[in-house]
Amino acid sequence: MSDNLRLTLRVWRQAGPNVRGGFETYQIDSISTDASFLEMLDVLNEQLVTEGKDPVAFESDCREGICGTCGCVVDGMAHGPEMGTTVCQLHMRVFRDGQTITIEPFRAKAFPIIKDLVVDRDAYDRIQAAGGYNSVNCGNAPDANSILVGKDDASDAFDAAACIGCGACAAACKNGAAMLFVGAKVGHLSMLPQGQPERQQRAIRMVTQMDEEGFGSCTNTLECEAACPKEISTKWIQRLNSEFMRASTTSRHH
């Protein structure tokens, strides 16, 4: 059965990239516990527009936990308090009536704020474009069983492929490191036969681009894994380190 919540929202408002931002406080009533977090923000925005105020800018696309655009920080946690859940899949039933909720954008040097809760996450796209693909001509889609992949490798590759590139890992990390994202992307293709031809250059190019984007270094605090809405394991960071090491050593000798 759904109940209605009365909430106080502290929302980060910032009109643009180069202006000073700050928290503003809003009261919002009659939010159904069945509503999603983004539906709650929609209601807030209708209220703000009715009052002649600027609505809160936030991003969303799929609202199904797939596209990775909706990330923001809710009560100090990237994507909010529920484990393994994107903001768009977060439901208001996890909040209490009368609660104050603080909502901020992802904060990482490599993700500059565009407006309010919207940050520029193009740095992840540029890392992906640097090597997170296959450029070999694979021809038409082959029969499913024509290239055999062992069950363990297929499952591991699938786990890494679940990364939606939302940026929560870098936002949750005190160093602003992107290692979990890059580890998942490099690791995914490293597990599959299709990823072998470009395996070494992929690791080097993606790590080099990551460094150029200004992401910090990993110091194994594991906040990234805790914040990841797809529960990507930090074992992919270890794998990234060994992929990069092997690729650097090999390319030095050849």
For binding to ligand FES (CB under 6 A), which residues are involved?
A: 60-63, 65-70, 86, 88
- Please state the separation of Cα 107 from the chain's center in Å: 12
By three-state DSSP, how is residue 129 classified? helix
Q: How far is the CB of 3 from ligand FES (least distance, A)?
A: 24
Which C-beta is closer to ligand FES: that of 115 or that of 202? 115
Which C-beta is closer to ligand FES: that of 7 or that of 166? 166
By three-state DSSP, how is residue 172 classified? helix
Which C-beta is closer to ligand FES: that of 13 or that of 63? 63
Q: How far is the CB of 164 from ligand FES (least distance, A)?
A: 6
Measure Cα distances from 47 to 89, 117, 133, 223 in Å. 22, 18, 44, 35
Q: Scanning the structure block, which residue is given the tokens 């990551």?
A: 210
Q: Quick check: 4 and 32 in contact, CB under 8 A?
A: yes
Q: How far is the CB of 190 from ligand FES (least distance, A)?
A: 25
Percentages (nearest 5) of helix, strand, coil residues in the chain: 40, 15, 45
Which C-beta is closer to ligand FES: that of 45 or that of 134? 45
Q: How far is the CB of 111 from ligand FES (least distance, A)?
A: 16
Which C-beta is closer to ligand FES: that of 105 or that of 195? 105
Nearest to 184 by CA among 161, 207, 151: 161
Which C-beta is closer to ligand FES: that of 90 or that of 178? 90
Q: How far is the CB of 167 from ligand FES (least distance, A)?
A: 11
Say which DSSP state 111 is in.
B
Report angle CA 58, 64, 65 to the nearest 5 degrees.
75
Q: How far is the CB of 134 from ligand FES (least distance, A)?
A: 25
Structure tokens at 90: 């977060």
